[in-house]
């Protein structure tokens, strides 16, 4: 299956409850700790302003992507650095993610679907192997 053939919709976007499920692969329902880097620190700047990160827990996840609930909307198609810590793994996985969709949720929150991008500069393969191990333990 080519990367472009994989369904990254993470559920039916027209169904605000998220109850419809048209996903192409099995997802883990457990949560993992995620840190998204929303704004990077300028490495050439003498200003010590830190990167702006957002710490969250996943709603569900797979080797291809995950969804989260945030207090602020994320720009669709934004590419972000992410660190995901799975239970039982010593270190978080550094990944690059694409914001596939973002829609309003309950109480001023936002539901966000993120696709994990395959890249040589990230721990993508290690991530996919760890998720496969976690799924085989269920």
Confidence of residue 46 (pLDDT cuts 50, 70, 90): low
CATH number, domain at 112? 2.40.10.220
Query: Does 85 reside within a domain?
Result: yes
Query: Does 37 reside within a domain?
Result: yes
Contact 113, 21 (CB under 8 A): no
Both tokens assigned to 108:
């001023």
* pLDDT of amino acid 64: 92
Name residues whose C-beta falls within 8 Å of residue 66's C-beta, 6 or more positions apart in sequence: 32, 34, 58, 59, 60, 84, 113, 114, 116
With 80 as the cut, is the pLDDT of residue 47 above it? no
pLDDT tens for residues 82-124? 999 988 889 999 999 999 999 999 899 999 999 999 988 899 9
CA distances to 73, 127, 131, 136 from 89, rounded to whole Å, are 29, 10, 10, 15
Q: How many domains does the chain have?
A: 1
* pLDDT of amino acid 27: 53
Instruction: Tell me the HSE value of 5 on the side-chain side, using a 13 A CA sphere.
Output: 2
Query: Does 103 reside within a domain?
Result: yes
Query: Does 10 reside within a domain?
Result: no
First to last CA, the chain: 25
Residues spanned by the domain of 75: 25-41+48-137
* pLDDT of amino acid 133: 84
For the question of whether the overall pTM of this predicted structure is more than 0.85, the answer is no
Residue of 124 and 137 predicted with greater confidence: 124
Q: What are phi and psi of 125, to 5 degrees?
A: -65, -40
Query: Does 121 reside within a domain?
Result: yes
Residue of 63 and 25 predicted with greater confidence: 63
Mean pLDDT estimate for the chain: 79
């Amino acid at each position: 299956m080519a990367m472009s053939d994989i369904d990254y919709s993470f559920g039916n976007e027209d169904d605000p409850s998220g109850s419809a499920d048209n996903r192409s692969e099995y997802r883990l329902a457990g949560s993992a700790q995620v840190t998204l880097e929303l704004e990077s620190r300028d490495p050439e700047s003498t200003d010590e302003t830190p990167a702006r990160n957002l710490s969250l827990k996943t709603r569900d996840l797979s080797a291809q992507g995950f969804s989260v609930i945030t207090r602020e909307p994320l720009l669709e198609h934004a590419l972000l650095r992410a660190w995901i810590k799975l239970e039982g793994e010593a270190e978080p996985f550094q990944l690059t993610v694409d914001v596939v969709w973002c829609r309003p949720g309950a109480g001023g929150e936002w539901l966000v679907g993120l696709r994990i991008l395959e890249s040589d500069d990230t721990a993508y393969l290690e991530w996919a192997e760890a998720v496969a191990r976690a799924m085989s333990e269920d």
